[in-house]
Chains A and B, each alone.
Chain A
Amino acid sequence: MTPRSALIRLAVRVLYPAMLAASLWILWRGHHQPGGGFIGGMVAVAATSLLAVAEGSHTALSRLPFGPARLAACGGLASLTSGLPALALGRPYLEHLWLEIPLGPTKLPLSTVMLFDLGVYAVVWGALGGLCAHAMGLDEKAAVAAEAVPAPGESGPERVEP
């Protein structure tokens, strides 16, 4: 996978942000329609995997906000926290609360469900995205090692992942 096709790299430069935007849209849409944190997170994982194919696993991992493990942990914390307001009001844990903020002509609906879903999104993206990118990195290292052994005269592969 080391000498990468320029076409793929160019395409991914456009696709990566587009897929992330789509994943966020799915997350948002899941509020009342099919979609939600898990599915949105999976699309984000697909974007990260694609980036790992095009630019190498190191780049893909470094583009995950906070790094994979922390992203997942923060997501889990967000989901856990989303149940606390209900607990503070004497309601059962994870009973969700809605709040609508009027913004001129429209209104902004906020809810603890959104926080929960955002947490799920981050858990899925961080954990599975990290896993996929790492797994591809294993392959890269093997490829680098395989190329380095039979051709001692050559200068070696151009891109060596740290």
Chain B
Amino acid sequence: MGNWLLPLPVILPLATALLTMVSWRRPRVQGLIAGASLGALLAVSTALLGLVWTEGTQRTSFGGWPAPFGIEFAVDPLGAAMVSITALMGATAALFSLGDADPGTPSPTLWPLTFALLAGVGGAFVTADLFNLYVWFELMLVASLGLLALGGEPRHLDAALKYFVLNALGTLLLLLAVGYLYGLTGHLGFVPLRGALTDLDGATLGPFVALLVLAILIKAGAFPLCAWLPASYPTLPASLVALFAGLLTKVGIYVLLRLLGGVLPALPAFLTQGLAWVAAATMLVGVLGAAFHWDLRRILAFHIISQIGYMLLGIALLTKAGQVATVFYVIHHIVVKANLFLIAGLVFRMTGTYDLRRAGGLYVARPALALLFAIPALSLVGLPPLSGFWAKLLVLREALAQQQLALAVVALAVGLLTLYSMLKIWLEAFWKPHPDPDWSPPSHVGLTPAYLATGLLAAVTLAFGVMPEPMLQLAERAVETLREAGP
């Protein structure tokens, strides 16, 4: 019974992308198809998570060609959790876009491209084949490029170009590394690859693994190859940027976790130590960028980078506890980050600007929005009892347990700076009176769906924070499966 569920996280969005393309002249039909598909995706991924939880890792190979020859899909608890959170994000972003929260005329290619993106993300989470993984990265790249260029204005094309250059480089490096590994071992599937790689010594493998890690680090937005992220994300409409910010860089983190945790043999020490310092630099650069900027969305984009640093640190520690911390961090971060971008969209709708210096007065005018902002913002900073507190605690505890005192200090300092940049948003957009005394927020706009979407994500954050135990169990189970059997 599990067999037929496995390919659905990819087939469903792919079919939806095509169906919405066929019906591109009828926006209502498109919307109905998209809504139905997202509902089905949510149901399928939840069922998959339940199945994997009770019966263990599920696998299927396409066309019935078995493992070392065919392409395999395998879903373990980690993959199932990621697929579920992807479906949740897709549904929330769509819910947000139902009302008037995203001004502008919708493009007929919006849904096809969005679902192509979701198919790429879903494919990356369920595949158990290195080359197939590359294909999903390529699909994500093409779809996100299309979405970035959708606005059609020079700033959109500028963003798309900046996004394209580094990401295409990352994809090419990934292909190169995949080719080298295939040449070394003759395998592409994760399980056979893991078996074949254990026979090779670190010196032979080192350069290729470094290339692979570099390629994935570009995708994850790690320092020093993170410039594409804050340059491109802020041009997207709110619901899309939430989807991008929530999912795309986290696919890179997921792949790194999967490959380093369950496929590649132990890395040479200088590489892991290097990765740890890349993580620290990523944290610092991201948070300094956030502290420097005044554009709300640019601040949030830089926060992604600094948070990616924490997740990388968890991976670089290479211990089980470090990886559990990363899994917890990724899931917490996807929800929180997407929500912050959605709220940024609402702030824009209220004040008409993303520039914090020209915004203000929202605490008095819209107290509910201020509360909705406070939950994910404080969670991102890492205040108890919100989900970010547990995520940071897990990373810090493991860094200290591994005697990485310097890294732990950096992580703590970055936490303080994150608080500073969040306070900046709070003071400027919410607390201080609006610079224009005659300003009042627009009334009579249909923002109920948008409030519902952000409220739902805030509730998820609160639930993770108050009851971290189930989430932690899931993360531990995911890492155990990852480490013992490969994917």
Contact = CB atoms under 8 A, between A and B. Distances in A.
A pairs with B:
yes
A54 B317 CA distance: 65
A83 B112 CA distance: 21
Tell me the dominant secondary structure on chain B's binding face: helix
B11 A80 contact: yes
B19 A77 contact: yes
Contacts of A70: 21-22
Contact of A69 (B7, B24, B62, B64): B24
B63 A76 contact: no
A74 interface: yes
Given A69-B24, A92-B63, A87 B7 contact: yes
Contacts of B63: 92-96
Nearest to B4: A87
Interface in A37-78: 69-70, 72-74, 76-77
Interface in B75-125: 112
Contacts of A152: none
B61 interface: yes
Interface string B443-473: 0000000000000000000000000000000
A74 B22 contact: yes
Contacts of A93: 4, 6-7, 11, 60, 62-63
B4 A90 contact: yes
B22 A73 contact: yes
B60 A92 contact: yes
B15 A92 contact: no
A31 interface: no
Interface string B1-41: 00110110001001100110110100000000000000000
A91 interface: yes
Contacts of B14: 76, 80
Nearest to B61: A92
Contacts of B64: 86, 91-92, 95
Nearest to B1: A90
Nearest to B22: A73
Contact of A94 (B4, B15, B19, B62): B62
Tell me the dominant secondary structure on chain A's binding face: helix
Contacts of B112: 73
Nearest to B14: A80
Contacts of A88: 4
A88 B7 CA distance: 12
A80 B112 CA distance: 15
Contacts of A91: 3, 64
How many interface residues does chain A have, given as a range?
A: 10 to 19
Contact of B18 (A76, A86, A87): A76
Contacts of B61: 92
Nearest to B6: A93
A116 B372 CA distance: 48
Given A69-B24, A80-B11, A90 B3 contact: yes
Contacts of B15: 77, 80
Residue of B3, B4, B6, B24 with most chain A CB atoms under a 10 A cut-off: B4
B18 A77 contact: yes
Residue of A73, A83, A86 with most chain B CB atoms under a 10 A cut-off: A73
Nearest to A96: B63
Interface in B248-263: none
Nearest to B25: A70
A77 B18 CA distance: 6
B65 to A, nearest CB: 8
Contacts of B62: 92-95
A80 B19 CA distance: 11
A16 to B, nearest CB: 26
Contacts of B24: 69
Contacts of A77: 15, 18-19, 22
A34 B19 CA distance: 31
Nearest to A78: B18
A155 to B, nearest CB: 35
A129 to B, nearest CB: 16
B56 to A, nearest CB: 18
A93 B62 CA distance: 6
Given A80-B11, A90-B3, A73 B18 contact: yes
Residue of A74, A87, A88, A90 with most chain B CB atoms under a 10 A cut-off: A87
Contact of B21 (A69, A87, A95): A69
A90 B64 CA distance: 11
Contacts of A72: 21
B271 to A, nearest CB: 37
A77 B14 CA distance: 9
A70 B21 CA distance: 7
Nearest to B19: A77
B21 A92 contact: no
28 contacts: A70-B21, A72-B21, A73-B18, A73-B19, A73-B21, A73-B112, A74-B22, A76-B14, A77-B15, A77-B18, A80-B11, A83-B7, A83-B11, A86-B64, A87-B3, A87-B7, A88-B4, A91-B64, A92-B3, A92-B62, A92-B63, A93-B4, A93-B6, A93-B11, A93-B60, A93-B63, A95-B63, A96-B63
Interface of B: 3-4, 6-7, 11, 14-15, 18-19, 21-22, 24, 60-64, 112
Given A73-B19, A93-B7, 19 more contacts: A70-B21, A70-B22, A72-B21, A73-B18, A74-B18, A80-B14, A80-B15, A83-B11, A87-B3, A88-B4, A90-B3, A90-B4, A91-B3, A92-B60, A92-B62, A93-B6, A93-B11, A95-B62, A96-B63
Closest 10 pairs between A and B when the two form their complex, measured CB to CB: A95-B64, A73-B21, A93-B7, A73-B18, A76-B18, A94-B63, A73-B22, A77-B18, A87-B4, A94-B62
